[in-house]
């Protein structure tokens, strides 16, 4: 089998199974594990997968701007937002990470909900300006125009002065072993700080982001208390429940 055929097979299997193992690929392709290892390294260098010990997993399907992402999975994000709303109660202090899933949540805040919301998201702050009973605190920092969020040391300094009841993370990638990861180092650092500043951490993630990974670590998977997703019946979610995380 030609190298190009092997690479095509690996990518198709990765898409179908959400992971590939070197030992299985060696058997399937009838080549040595060293050959498979080199093939995986070639695909990783091309940005087509994340190489991990013994195999590979997919990248997060999230290469678009904030504005473009608002158009994707809108029904799924609304479903997640409705589930997340059940965790909110009057008097809470809530950290909202910048993301399209968290934006979907604030769009359905009932007018009688009384919260203090701390966010680094410009669109979320703008959305809540019109809310009659929610206090909004927008963190400082340099604004990333693509993500429409503030970041950097100033953002993290402000967050460290907070002890929130809840933190809602818009998640790029979730993996039961590798944890929560992201594509941007500065954004990952801000998310890490948010996790450290909250009593209860909730990840909002559609099913296509499960079992994926990116280069920059946000937190261990066990730092999450709850995962809210669009389909809690998916079989692979059991790996998260086994670690004590509530999945809804």
pLDDT at 147: 87
CB 211 within 8 A of CB 188: no
Label residue 82 by pLDDT band (50, 70, 90): very high
pLDDT at 63 over 60: no
Q: List Cβ neighbours of 130 (8 Å cut-off, separation of 6 or more).
A: none
- Most distant CA pair in the chain, distance: 65
pLDDT at 61: 67
- The Cα–Cα gap between 93 and 52 comes to 38
pLDDT at 208: 85
For residues 58-67, average pLDDT: 67
One of 1.10.3470, 1.10.10, 3.40.50, 3.30.310 is the CATH number of 3-57, namely 1.10.10
**Domain locations in the chain as residue ranges:** 3-57, 66-247
DSSP structure string for the chain? --HHHHHHHHHHHHHHHS-EEHHHHHHHHTS-HHHHHHHHHHHHHTTS-EEETTEEEPPPS--S-HHHHTTSSHHHHHHHHHHHHTT--TT-EEEE-SSHHHHHHHHT--TT---EEEESBHHHHHHHTT-SS-EEEE--SEEETTTTEEESHHHHHHHTT--EEEEEEE-SEEETTTEEEES-HHHHHHHHHHHHTEEEEEEE--GGGBT---SEEEE-GGG-SEEE-S-TT-GGGHHHHTTT-EE-
Lowest mean pLDDT segment, chosen from 2-11, 56-65, 93-102, 112-121: 56-65
- The Cα–Cα gap between 25 and 7 comes to 11
Label residue 168 by pLDDT band (50, 70, 90): very high
- The Cα–Cα gap between 28 and 188 comes to 37
Whole-model pTM: value is 0.81
Query: What class is the 66-247 domain?
Result: alpha beta
Lowest mean pLDDT segment, chosen from 31-35, 37-41, 55-59, 152-156: 55-59
**How many whole angstroms from its chain centre is CA 2?**
36
pLDDT at 70: 67
């Amino acid at each position: 089998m030609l190298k190009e055929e092997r690479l095509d097979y690996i990518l198709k299997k990765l898409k179908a199974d959400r992971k590939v193992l070197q030992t299985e690929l060696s058997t399937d392709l009838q080549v040595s594990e060293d050959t498979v290892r080199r093939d995986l390294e070639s695909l990783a260098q091309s940005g087509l997968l994340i190489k991990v010990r013994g195999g590979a997993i997919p990248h997060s399907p999230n290469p678009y701007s904030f504005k473009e992402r608002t158009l994707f999975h809108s029904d799924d994000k609304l479903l997640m937002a409705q589930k997340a709303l059940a965790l909110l109660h009057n008097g809470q202090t809530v950290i909202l990470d910048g993301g399209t899933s968290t934006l979907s949540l604030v769009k359905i805040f009932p007018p009688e909900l009384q919260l203090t919301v701390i966010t680094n998201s410009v669109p979320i702050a703008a959305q809540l300006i019109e809310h009659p009973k929610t206090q909004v605190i927008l963190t400082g920092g340099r604004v990333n125009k693509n993500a429409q969020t503030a970041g950097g040391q100033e953002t993290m300094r402000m967050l460290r002065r907070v002890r929130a009841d809840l933190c809602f993370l818009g998640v790029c990638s979730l993996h039961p072993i590798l944890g929560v990861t992201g594509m941007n180092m500065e954004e990952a650092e801000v998310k890490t700080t948010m996790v450290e500043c909250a009593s209860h951490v909730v990840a909002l993630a559609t099913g296509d982001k499960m079992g994926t990974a990116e280069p920059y670590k946000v937190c261990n998977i066990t730092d999450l208390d709850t995962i809210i997703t669009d389909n809690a019946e998916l079989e692979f979610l059991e790996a998260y429940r086994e670690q004590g995380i509530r999945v809804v």
